[in-house]
Structure 1
């Protein structure tokens, strides 16, 4: 980042400091290293929320700044989770198999160990052979690379085909949704190589660290999630503050004019689409070890729609708005769907929030879109008195209101 970037954008410094303060506070109050006020399950929930906030930043960059309403970014999120989940499940299963065969009269051969691992992992789908996609499952370094490469390459291929054909607007949204649905349906099949509907489980158990309590492991992932969110926020703020961000906003507001000015619109779209897919993949790789399981249902199109709802409620076109929207909606959702919200008896009917939460979320999205298009983030404009200046006098530019006399 250029020198002086943070000095020119104090809001970025404020966000990073607040994120660091939040992380320290949770650590001090946790069961793992603190006084035990915050339970381990809540620490995991907060860590997952930070990952969702990173995915929301990726969505805001591609939708709020570039104007591309992608309904497939949660597919990239899920692919990142699958890539790291393969290594976690393989190594965890390998530890169990080696321990079980340790007392055998004849030491097992590497082939016997591999066959036993395959039978343990793929026995639920009637197989014991490792599919080709598991070729590097025993290498943490390669799987970490795939966390970025697989979502990135998929986004690059899809974006190249879509953007060079100049598909835009609602048609592009439908295409991204179709891509997500096709991927989910493929992963539901048992011969996909990723255990079909069973998905990957036991991801919360780190290989070789059985002696480490979950209260401490949850803190490790919280720290990792906070670091990833902070770096993602800095990257996003830097991108949108320069010329690249100005071109993205220009594409969002008037794509034809930006193309007329000589900019390669397709290149800018493809770049931001691919970069945000990689960001979503990293967020997913940190999320699912905290969730403990991933299956194809996580990649269903409805998940990407939720991502768009979070950004809209938080404030599209504001990086901090995306973080606020994801954190607020996901935490409130956990409260309502977790049975913590009290039911409301009406005499003739009892409102159970577990059943009505999605209706409330949908209505909130509609109301925010109609009456508060700036979302929750717009409240900060009011609090900081960041109103647009009143302009009077004659128009000085070709567009009415673009520039006026003092």
Structure 2
């Protein structure tokens, strides 16, 4: 029997790529950079950041929806990617400022004086002027881009190897990932962490050497880069889950003991998907924070990773497009509610301010989806396409034990 081509086996990939390309084209045409101005520069940045959140949601769906590993620490990798690229952006931008300010000196400044001036500008806020060791490669864009992948990937590899070789699973693994995230956030909050403590890295939206280029154009560049990264990430994730590797991941999710009994290296599969998704999350973060303009340790707090799991659950875990839908939906609705665009509701004795009540609404949505629509928003596509659930002969529909079971097969 001739095996169908990859695209023929995954028609949803072409549909997704077409929708993404159309979306990017429309935003480009109606942006301020193209002269129409129907979409403001700030909203173009919001859309670009949303695409990055969709990419990290795909990573979360791979590790949770397909492999059954509820990681409550993947947003830490997202933040680390932002810190790695943020160091170069802040160093290069500060260097331009320092060199310009010293240009009129009677005696040309030495390299040591320039570096000292950069250190004073960056670390003066935490009472220091010396460059920490972790800034050793901040002068090189190439090296910092390598670190965007290497640092989160190495952290995930070491953590995953220690956890999976000990066969930690379920809620215990989730607690461990959350503890890792909390420890990292608490370390970064310290002024002697080398990353400016609670102040974080700021001014990341100012690209070095691009002073003459308007923010409208720069925001469009990042939108294109984010769209390209999302397209590549979605294509890679589709390739992973559509082959034998994806079948083994789903087998681990549904019955880990049986997969191990069949001779598969369960720990190896888990470690690979955990590390790869950490790298994907880091790439998404490296594109997100230059658009946000600032990153601080609060971005890595455990609550951020919990939000990520909520997005995937609302969109529909175990469906790549569901993760994208969930992240995009929550991100845009959150911007609408917290941006002051929704009018407050005066009740006489109390005024409902949606900026304060948005998180309550998000939590309630998560509970309702879990109880009444476990397939999430993505499950609506099953109704539209009349997609039928596979006959599993009474086995759990998963990905968790105790999920609703189908009736036993007739034979």
**1:107 — aligned with what?**
108
- Alpha-carbon separation, structure 2, partners of 1:389 and 1:165: 33
The runs of 4+ residues in structure 1 deviating greater than 6 Å are: 389-392
Query: Is the 2:60–2:312 contact (alpha carbons within 8 Å) kept by the matching residues of 1?
Result: yes
Q: How is 1:307-318 mapped onto 2 (pairs within 5 angstroms)? A: 307-318=308-319
The alignment covers a number of residue pairs equal to: 398
1:377 is paired with a residue of what secondary structure?
Answer: helix
1:166 is paired with a residue of what secondary structure?
Answer: coil
Instruction: For residues 360-386 of structure 1, give each alpha carbon's deviation from its aligned partner in whole angstroms, at most 9, with x where no partner exists.
Output: 100100110011000000000001111
- Alpha-carbon separation, structure 1, partners of 2:35 and 2:329: 25
- Alpha-carbon separation, structure 2, partners of 1:400 and 1:331: 36
Query: Is the 2:391–2:409 contact (alpha carbons within 8 Å) kept by the matching residues of 1?
Result: no
- Alpha-carbon separation, structure 2, partners of 1:222 and 1:314: 22
Instruction: For residues 156-175 of structure 1, give each alpha carbon's deviation from its aligned partner in whole angstroms, at most 9, with x where no partner exists.
Output: 00000000000000000000
Q: TM-score, normalised by structure 1?
A: 0.96
* Structure 2: gaps (5+ residues): 394-404
C-alpha displacement at 1:402, in angstroms? 6.9
Query: Is the 2:392–2:406 contact (alpha carbons within 8 Å) kept by the matching residues of 1?
Result: no
Query: Are 1:234 and 2:235 matched, yes or no?
Result: yes
**2:323 — aligned with what?**
322
- Alpha-carbon separation, structure 1, partners of 2:301 and 2:329: 22
Query: Are 1:331 and 2:332 matched, yes or no?
Result: yes
- Alpha-carbon separation, structure 1, partners of 2:214 and 2:406: 64
Compared with structure 1, are the counterparts of its residues 108 and 391 closer, same or farther at alpha carbon in structure 2 (3 Å cutoff)?
closer
Q: How is 1:4-403 mapped onto 2 (pairs within 5 angstroms)? A: 4-388=5-389
What RMSD, in angstroms, separates the aligned Cα atoms of the two structures?
1.6
Compared with structure 1, are the counterparts of its residues 256 and 301 closer, same or farther at alpha carbon in structure 2 (3 Å cutoff)?
same
Query: Is the 1:148–1:278 contact (alpha carbons within 8 Å) kept by the matching residues of 2?
Result: yes
Query: Is the 2:391–2:406 contact (alpha carbons within 8 Å) kept by the matching residues of 1?
Result: no
Compared with structure 1, are the counterparts of its residues 381 and 34 closer, same or farther at alpha carbon in structure 2 (3 Å cutoff)?
farther
Query: Is the 1:27–1:34 contact (alpha carbons within 8 Å) kept by the matching residues of 2?
Result: no
- Alpha-carbon separation, structure 2, partners of 1:374 and 1:44: 30
C-alpha displacement at 1:144, in angstroms? 0.4
- Alpha-carbon separation, structure 1, partners of 2:176 and 2:170: 10
2:38 is paired with a residue of what secondary structure?
Answer: coil
